[in-house]
Structure 1
Amino acid sequence: MFEQNIITVDLPEDQVTQFVHISNLLELNLIQCHSENISNVLDALEPSNKTMHILVHHFEAPLISLEKVDGELLKSHLHIAICPKLTTELEVTFISSGFHCNMQADDSVVDKINSIKQVQAKEISFSHKAISRYVLQKKRLPSFTNRTKILALTTKKEQQILGLIWDGHSNEEIAHKLGISINTVKMHVQNIYKKTKIKNRGQLFALA
């Protein structure tokens, strides 16, 4: 038996073989479970073992599933998020939620191994862009709780526009950056307000 455990949560069958290979290469004990059984699995592990476990959470729909993760669980052990597709906004959400790393499902075995090694060394593994945005927004925004809820209600294009709004860009600047008309930007902004029941930019910043 190896000293440290890697616990996969809700990992699809098509990725299990890859993580079996990864756990063997890194000399980790692989434990598979579903999200509803995480507490039972952790309770069943040797209480005297003070090594921090690595939990790999698979999220098919991250912004929806993330709200169901126990916040207390994220305060202990080492947590990695894996999902089909990553955006900078999604990475920032994982950072602010307490994860140590995120991966795309189609990342190579080498990339996944390197990321896990960073987590084992008690380091975080995110893109430089996501870390920079998190640091800048952390200076400006006191809480990310409402931010996650807002993102969960919006489409990918709306999330992209939200990210630019939170970075302080005007509608005109957003239209220029995304190569779309100002009217299209206004339409997306109005859709965001309607979905989130937010009335204006000031309230959007306050709630985020």
Structure 2
Amino acid sequence: MQDALKQVRELKRQAVRGQRFTGYSGRVRAVAGVFALLGAVAMSLPSYPRTPRAHLIGWSVVLAAALIVNYSALLHWFLFHPDAKRDLQRLMPTVDALPPLLVGAVLSAVFILEGRFELLFGTWMSLYGLANLSSRRVLPRAIWPVGAYYIIAGAICLFLAPAFTNPWPLGLVFFFGEWAGGMVFHRNRVADAPMSSLFLKRGPSDE
């Protein structure tokens, strides 16, 4: 009886392992957090224009850089990682994240056209938090607090409405959030990996 129960538990573990999505790179996500911090540093310099348009361009550059590195890593995983097997179904968790991001894009366009720049930070944080939770069934449970962190930070920013020309609220929230999310995804690929392994030697299981 005990042996049968052990076999059932092992089969369950294997099933969960097979459903787990490992396409997101923890290292690359942490790098995107550094982009956010560097963007905040650059936009806080005295020489940087204190206009909503200039800051919108600055954050667009940060977003573009983050998208490029993250989706390049995802493509590499899809083509070469044994978990992916070049099966398009394995990319479904990335599709699940699109609705909140698209809603965020629409709301951003409305706020920009109406000149409500102070609502952008809170909107971006909240919808990004929802995107983190959208694929929770195939991502580690530890991503839940990260998603909640972004939603709570976004709600606070929506209530306080900090000036859009102050880059630090967004830069700091995304820096810490992306590093936390990066560690979660890194440990999702490399079980029980220490934090130091996030930026040290690259192993085959973290390709």
Q: TM-score, normalised by structure 2?
A: 0.26
Higher strand share: 1
Structure with the bigger percentage of helix: 2
Greater relative contact order structure (CA < 8 Å, 6+ sep): 2
